[in-house]
Amino acid sequence: MQRDRATTIFEKGAAGRRAFVAPKLDVPEADADTLLPAHLRRSAPARLPEVSEPELVRHYVKISRRNFDLDTGFYPLGSCTMKHNPRLHERVAALSGHSRLHPMQSPEHAQGALELMYNLERALGEVSGLPHVSLQPSAGSHGELAGVLLTRAFHEDRGQQRHTVLTPDTSHGTNPATVTMAGYTVVKVGTNVDGGVDLDDLRAKADEDVACLMLTNPNTLGVFDPNITEIARIVHDVGATLYYDGANLNAIMGKARPGDMGFDIVHFNLHKSFTQPHGGGGPGSGPIAVSERMRPYLMNPRIVRAQDGSFDLDEQGYEKSIGRLRGFQGNYGCFVRSYAYICSLGAEGLRDASETAVLNANYLLAKLREHGVADKLPLAFGELCMHEFVLSGSPMKKDLGIKTLDLAKRLLDHGYHPPTVYFPLLVDEALLVEPTETETKETLDGFAAAIAAILAEAAEDPAIAQNAPYTTPVRRLDEAAAAKTPRIRQPIET
């Protein structure tokens, strides 16, 4: 039941009310009919809200307060790296030299922007251990598509037509979607008892029809695969490429490099590891970095630096390029924020961020065990984790009668955004928690205490969690209906 229905701006105000009144004309009045041709003029006035300025401000402020976001609370959404975005980087991106730059500005008049992008490419190349970078992809999934298309170009250049791409059963959902979009067939590789790739299954499925293996390391179980060099050898021995999904890069920045592990292609989620505002559909940014053998196929144009120090866009920079993936060079504001983040932290700061993210995840895991919840929410794999961990709510469901979804909904009443639920799919009643490096010890303590309180409460009365939440603008939603038949517009009376 909806308790406090959100209203639209059209439901406020009164006829004739205005938020702004234009001053009297100081030039001769002219008839619009004489200034605009008929095909550009409306046949009837536009239906606009008629509200005062205070009504306007209060309306949008009230709507903003209905949101739960990183500025209002803890957001441990596993696999999404919802960490705080330092405001310094927003101020840098808002400088007029950045924010007012036009995408069609000539390179001659955009030297500073090109230099920033050139330097960002090199910084990302250093973080990944792969020297050749393109900033062009618009998001992580776009970077994935770029990587698979590079793989296709790589094989076709050798006269090979390969048809399958391997993905672990712990992979992000975008991986098989990208593979299918690129025209390949997905082949799943199993997970071993320690949470890593099942090497026997990989050997059985790795043949000369395989174009690529897409892998996240650490994976979505929060496990760093100790067999990564053997995995790389198996894949390369059949002539395939090894692709690194950079969704979990936040766990290893400055500690380990995908290029050193044997990966050929990496995509970055600048909106995860490099503090872009995250969620709501973008704008995102998913640059890719590649090894020397994949370099000729990168997207054009390439940012180049001349001997005199000036910068330019070389439309023929990569000789066997797959071409452009989008107009212009990418979401420039994302580049500014991420470059500012890298410069403000430096190499040591990036390493500290990763170490703290891993420390926070293991601290929270230990704190939950201190509260005695491990018998109801055991760790799915291993004893330690990287920057995130996966709990199984299967015992909780059996012993207390509440599901992972019930626990997630009840957390809203305690002031926390729920972790990811029911992913990865191979863990029954999965709860995927990623605290990130930007949260305090007190926040982690409070979150662990809230989970313990919900379990204790469920032991007395499971219906409380089963009917949660109680304090949010809307109560328990029909998840299927909300996804399949959303009400996203309201008829306007004319």
Using alpha carbons, select from 317, 316, 258 the residue that is nearest to residue 288: 258
Q: How large is the greatest C-alpha to C-alpha distance in the chain, in angstroms?
A: 84
Report how far residue 133's alpha carbon sits from residue 123's, in angstroms, rounded to the nearest whole number: 9
Tokens 């229905």, located at residue: 5
> Does some domain include residue 364?
yes
> Does some domain include residue 220?
yes
Report how far residue 453's alpha carbon sits from residue 462's, in angstroms, rounded to the nearest whole number: 12
Mean pLDDT score of the chain: 94
Mark whether 331 and 355 lie in a shared domain: no
Mark whether 159 and 297 lie in a shared domain: yes
Report how far residue 147's alpha carbon sits from residue 81's, in angstroms, rounded to the nearest whole number: 22
Report how far residue 97's alpha carbon sits from residue 110's, in angstroms, rounded to the nearest whole number: 9
Instruction: State which of 297, 315, 343 marks the end of a domain.
Output: 343
Q: Collect all residues with Cβ–Cβ distance below 8 Å to 156 and sequence separation of at least 6.
A: none
Mean pLDDT of all residues in 176-204: 96
Report how far residue 229's alpha carbon sits from residue 221's, in angstroms, rounded to the nearest whole number: 19
> Does some domain include residue 192?
yes
Using alpha carbons, select from 182, 434, 442, 129 the residue that is nearest to residue 291: 129
Residue % of the chain over a pLDDT of 70: 98
Q: What is the DSSP string of 178-223?
A: HHHHTTPEEEEE-B-TTSSB-HHHHHHH-STTEEEEEE-SS-TTS-
Q: Residue 149's domain is classified under what CATH number?
A: 3.40.640.10
Alpha-carbon distances of 400 from 403, 413, 447, 465, rounded to whole Å: 9, 19, 20, 10
Q: How confident is the model at residue 2 (pLDDT cuts 50, 70, 90)?
A: very low
Mark whether 54 and 130 lie in a shared domain: no
Tokens 């004319």, located at residue: 494
Q: How confident is the model at residue 3 (pLDDT cuts 50, 70, 90)?
A: low
Q: Using an 8 Å Cβ cutoff, are 241 and 235 in contact? A: yes
Mark whether 105 and 186 lie in a shared domain: yes
Mean pLDDT of all residues in 416-441: 96
Q: Using an 8 Å Cβ cutoff, are 267 and 104 in contact? A: no
> Does some domain include residue 50?
yes
Alpha-carbon distances of 49 from 14, 15, 41, 60, rounded to whole Å: 9, 9, 20, 13
Mean pLDDT of all residues in 135-152: 95
Amino acid making up residue 71 = D
For the cut 50, the answer to whether the pLDDT of residue 244 exceeds it is: yes
Q: Collect all residues with Cβ–Cβ distance below 8 Å to 367 and sequence separation of at least 6.
A: 444, 445, 448
Mark whether 227 and 255 lie in a shared domain: yes
Mark whether 147 and 259 lie in a shared domain: yes
Mark whether 50 and 178 lie in a shared domain: no
Q: Residue 442's domain is classified under what CATH number?
A: 3.90.1150.10
pLDDT tens digits for range 324-372: 998 888 899 999 999 999 999 999 999 999 999 999 999 999 999 999 9
pLDDT tens digits for range 441-463: 999 999 999 999 999 999 999 99
Mark whether 187 and 330 lie in a shared domain: yes
Mark whether 320 and 197 lie in a shared domain: yes
> Does some domain include residue 248?
yes
Angle subtended at Cα 269 by Cα 363 and Cα 261, rounded to the nearest 5 degrees: 75
Amino acid making up residue 44 = A
> Does some domain include residue 489?
no
Using alpha carbons, select from 449, 453, 404 the residue that is nearest to residue 427: 404
> Does some domain include residue 4?
no
Q: What is the DSSP string of 105-119?
A: --GGG-HHHHHHHHH
Comparing 215 with 66, which gets the higher pLDDT?
Answer: 215
Mark whether 330 and 461 lie in a shared domain: no
Question: What are the tokens at 27?
Answer: 């030039």
First to last CA, the chain: 29
For the cut 70, the answer to whether the pLDDT of residue 493 exceeds it is: no
| Count of domains forming the chain | 3
Mark whether 173 and 48 lie in a shared domain: no
Mark whether 146 and 173 lie in a shared domain: yes
**Quick one: pLDDT at residue 474?**
86
Residue % of the chain over a pLDDT of 90: 83
Domain boundaries, position 224: 88-343
3-state secondary structure of 289: strand
Report how far residue 459's alpha carbon sits from residue 441's, in angstroms, rounded to the nearest whole number: 27
Mean pLDDT of all residues in 110-137: 97
Instruction: State which of 315, 343, 371 marks the end of a domain.
Output: 343
Instruction: State which of 319, 343, 367 marks the end of a domain.
Output: 343
Tokens 């990989």, located at residue: 202
Q: Using an 8 Å Cβ cutoff, are 410 and 467 in contact? A: no
For the cut 50, the answer to whether the pLDDT of residue 1 exceeds it is: no
DSSP state of 367: H
pLDDT tens digits for range 251-299: 999 999 999 999 999 999 998 999 887 766 567 899 999 999 999 999 9
> Does some domain include residue 79?
no
Range from 324-328, 369-373, 377-381, 489-493 carrying the lowest mean pLDDT: 489-493
Alpha-carbon distances of 260 from 206, 267, 358, rounded to whole Å: 22, 15, 21
Report how far residue 129's alpha carbon sits from residue 464's, in angstroms, rounded to the nearest whole number: 50
